[in-house]
């Protein structure tokens, strides 16, 4: 069985391997022992906190194969972004050049640096071992964050964002960054990517152009990738779009990947998931159901067909194996959604 739970200190080696496997552009998991340890420590502290409103918490989850004990994926939520470390984006806008005298009317796309998402919550750090990508694990890693947010909404902001990985090649070179490098920087994309990952963002405010950039002045390759996602990120974007996330013109400063957003209460899983008591019994359902317990430090979630939704009694029937994995007993309330 595959179970999602909060990360713990003993998962360090597995998290480091995920950081290595994730490759260039996955800035939220830098290959840096000190920073990975600090992420684990911060997550443990966040899950342990009694929270009445969202603040500087970071919740890092892992997906464990309980048969082998292997960690096969990770996913995370930042309760608030941009408060301690600035969060920068480009916003795509338009500027009109109009001359009635010459009968000329031109519309030019612009990129303006901003901090518009300061104070939002962010879902991030989703990665799944390639060998497990054909089943339901990827969808569970994505949707489990919304189950947790639905169960504990006081811990999160009204607006939720997700920064999607932009276009880069196998060596980590970004066409968009290449233009910035040629005109404003002397460091390559993997170096900038690494600096962001370890929290060194001072160079952004020091070197980034402060005035709007005319997109038509960029090279053709750079223009073509604005708002586009990395090939490996397309499935994740589709999952978020099904949840109601939309792209409203904000893109990453470095690879121009899109940032998508949704209101917490409007996210499909948040809206449609239900909280019912459970009854433990031998059961074989005919559909997959994603389910989680109501705990914080002891949070557990999984997807299984050993579940039956009894709509007549508003009761969720779950098998002993599912109950054991979720750490629940008869009568405990669980949150669930059809998968």
Per-residue tokens: 79: 């309760």
CB distance 260 to 245 below 8 Å:
yes
For residue 161 the two structure tokens come to 């964002």
DSSP string, 190-231: HHHHHHHHTT--HHHHHHS--SPEEGGGS-HHHHHTTTPPPG
- Please say whether the beta carbons of 247 and 258 come within 8 A: yes
Q: How many CA atoms lie within 13 A of 90 on its CB side?
A: 29
Which among 24, 54, 89, 230 is annotated as catalytic?
Answer: 230
Question: 244 in the Ramachandran plot: left (φ > 0), alpha (ψ -120 to 50) or beta?
Answer: left
> CA 161, CA 273: separation in Å to the nearest integer?
20
Catalytic-residue membership of 230? yes
Task: Please give the Cα distance from 77 to 148 (Å, whole number).
Answer: 10
The answer to whether residues 300 and 327 touch, using CB atoms and an 8 Å cutoff, is yes
> Which phi and psi (to 5°) does residue 224 adopt?
-65, -25
* Residue for token pair 């919550």: 121
Active site residues: 230
């Amino acid at each position: 069985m595959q179970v999602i739970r909060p990360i713990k200190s003993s998962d360090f080696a597995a998290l480091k391997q995920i950081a290595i496997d994730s490759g260039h552009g996955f800035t939220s998991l830098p290959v840096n022992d000190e920073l990975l340890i600090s992420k684990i420590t911060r997550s443990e502290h966040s899950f342990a906190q009694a929270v009445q409103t969202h603040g500087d918490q970071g919740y890092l989850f892992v997906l464990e194969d309980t048969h082998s004990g292997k960690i096969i994926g990770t996913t995370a939520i930042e309760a608030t972004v941009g408060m301690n470390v600035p969060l920068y984006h480009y916003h795509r806008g338009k500027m009109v050049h109009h001359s009635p005298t010459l009968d000329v009317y031109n519309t030019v796309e612009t990129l303006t640096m901003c901090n518009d998402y300061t104070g939002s919550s962010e879902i991030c750090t989703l990665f799944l071992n390639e060998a497990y990508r054909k089943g339901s694990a990827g969808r569970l890693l994505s949707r489990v964050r919304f189950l947790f947010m639905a169960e504990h909404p006081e811990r999160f902001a009204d607006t939720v964002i997700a920064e999607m990985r932009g276009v880069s090649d196998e060596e980590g070179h970004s066409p968009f960054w290449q233009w910035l490098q040629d005109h404003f920087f002397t460091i390559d994309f993997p170096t900038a990517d690494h600096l962001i990952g370890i929290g060194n963002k001072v160079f952004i405010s020091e070197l980034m152009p402060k005035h709007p950039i005319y997109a038509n002045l960029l090279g053709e390759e750079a223009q073509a990738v604005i708002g586009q996602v990395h090939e490996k990120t397309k499935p994740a974007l589709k999952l978020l779009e099904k949840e109601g996330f939309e792209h409203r013109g904000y893109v990453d400063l470095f690879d121009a990947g899109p940032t998508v957003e949704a209101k917490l209460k409007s996210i499909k899983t948040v809206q449609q998931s239900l909280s019912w008591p459970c009854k433990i019994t031998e059961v074989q359902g005919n559909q997959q159901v994603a389910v989680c317990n109501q705990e914080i430090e002891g949070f557990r979630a999984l997807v299984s067909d050993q579940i039956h939704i009894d709509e007549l009694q508003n009761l969720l029937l779950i098998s002993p194996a599912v109950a054991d994995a979720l750490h629940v007993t008869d009568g405990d309330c669980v949150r669930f959604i059809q998968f």
